[in-house]
Amino acid sequence: MAAELLRRQDEDQAVRLIPAAERTPELMEWWRAVDEANTAWLRELIAARGWPGEARVGRQAAGAAWLLAQHADRQPDFQQECLELLSAAVTAGDADPQHGTLLEDRVRVTQGQQQILGTQLTQNPDGTLAPYPVANPDEVEALRAAWGFKPLERYIEQVAASAK
């Protein structure tokens, strides 16, 4: 199970690391197919064995499970289920708390709600990146620091640089 999670994570990241300028329609179809296959596989895994926490699969593979859930955007009900399972694992000390907060922001954005930490970004018409709406903009930097995240401006710069 751990080896398969890590293999799927590698494929997930391979498609996402291709520079934006090189993203052809064929590549975007591959991206969609990778996400759909990973989501279906993770759904089956969770149905059969529950959330793959750190105690069962190790820290890296548990992180891979989070990443697959993070990219399960086409199945928001399943993504919400993953958030609930991951949150329980975080509470039990069996998952990285940052993964829980990242997935919570993702699910909130998917559901049309304001996010907590500003981890989910959108592209403005001028090509710059900005966070989707945040629930408490005046508190976001303090919350990010408390959870061990970089300041929002540095995070946006990093994501923008990696997307080129």
pLDDT average, residue stretch 25-54:
98
109 and 123 co-located in one domain = no
DSSP 8-class letter at 95: S
Does residue 33 share a domain with residue 102? Answer: yes
Please indicate, yes or no, whether residues 28 and 70 belong to a single structural domain of this protein: yes
Mean pLDDT (the chain, rounded): 96
Task: Mark whether 126 and 85 lie in a shared domain.
Answer: no
What is the arithmetic mean of pLDDT over 133-154? 97
State whether 66 and 10 are in the same domain. Answer: yes
Considering the domain architecture, whether residues 69 and 20 belong to the same structural domain is answered as: yes
pLDDT tens for 101-136 read 999 999 999 999 999 999 999 999 998 999 999 999
Q: What's the pLDDT score for residue 118?
A: 98
According to DSSP, the β-strands at 129-131 and 121-123 are: antiparallel
Look at residue 18 in the predicted model and tell me its pLDDT: 87
C-beta contacts of 148-151 below 8 A and 24+ residues apart = 148/98, 149/98, 149/101, 149/117, 149/119
Q: Identify the domain boundary among 113, 130, 154.
A: 113
Nearest to 132 by CA among 123, 140, 142, 122: 122
Q: How far apart are CA 72 and CA 99, in angstroms?
A: 14
Which of 94, 113, 132 represents a domain boundary (last residue)? Answer: 113
pLDDT of residue 117: 98
Same domain, 83 and 119: no
pLDDT digits (tens, 9 = 90+) for 79-93: 999 999 999 999 999
Choose the final residue of a domain: 113, 130, 145: 113
Q: The pTM is what?
A: 0.93
Structural domain range at position 44: 1-113
Q: How far apart (Å, rounded) are the C-alpha atoms in residues 161 and 64?
A: 23
CA atoms within 13 A on the CB side of 157: 5
Asked whether residue 74 falls in the same domain as residue 154, the answer is no
Give me the pLDDT at residue 88, please.
Answer: 98
In this prediction, residue 162 has a pLDDT band, given cuts at 50, 70 and 90, of confident
Check pLDDT > 80 for residue 27.
yes
Mean pLDDT of 33-40: 98
pLDDT at 163 over 80: no
CB 39 within 8 A of CB 75: yes
- Same domain for 25 and 102, yes or no, is yes
C-alpha 124/C-alpha 28 separation (Å) is: 20
* Of 32-36, 77-81, 140-144, 159-163, minimum mean pLDDT range: 159-163
Total structural domains in the chain?
Answer: 2
For residue 164, pLDDT over 80 is answered with no
Residues 103 and 134 in one domain: no
Question: ∠95-99-102 over CA atoms, to 5°?
Answer: 155
Minimal CA–CA distance to 101: which of 56, 135, 58, 52?
135
Statement to judge: residues 128 and 103 lie in one domain: no
| DSSP annotation of 113 | P
Residues 103, 30, single domain; the answer is yes
Tell me the chain's radius of gyration from C-alpha atoms.
16
